[in-house]
Structure 1
Amino acid sequence: MIPSASPSDEGPDTPICSAKGCREPAVWVLAWNNPKLHTPERRKTWLACEEHREHLSTFLGMRGFLKDTVPLAEWESANGD
């Protein structure tokens, strides 16, 4: 399930970027896992707006956690959200 929040100009089910302090609508899903804690098939998700996608991807990638980056709409249709 994709977490959501409700900024004043968006609906209550609008997914919001995971970057600290950002309230922009998310358009990307960054699927990741920590191999020290999670089984290889487990995927946790962070959401990203266009502005923060690269920053969040770099953060996860440097730690070896990033597994996939996909458009939010594609993730939702593939996962039935």
Structure 2
Amino acid sequence: SALTFTFVALFVQGWARGLSLSCNCIGVERAVTSYPFEVAWRLVLFFLMLILLWDSCRKGKTYFNVTRLDFSEM
């Protein structure tokens, strides 16, 4: 979460300074054409990470049986 937030902050700073940003993900270069969409998409991912973090830390009742798979019997 912290790394994603830092990336979004740096991405917005680059956008504000007028830098030409591109993504070279998995060997395919893709120019960023819509900065608001890219920032919004990364903020959505950031908030989903926060929701997952919150959900994993709460002590609420789960409505399904949790099976721990630690392979200790092997």
Name the TM-score, length of structure 2 as normaliser.
Answer: 0.28
Q: 1 or 2, which has the higher helix percentage?
A: 2
Larger radius of gyration: 2
Q: 1 or 2, which has the higher strand percentage?
A: 1
Name the TM-score, length of structure 1 as normaliser.
Answer: 0.27
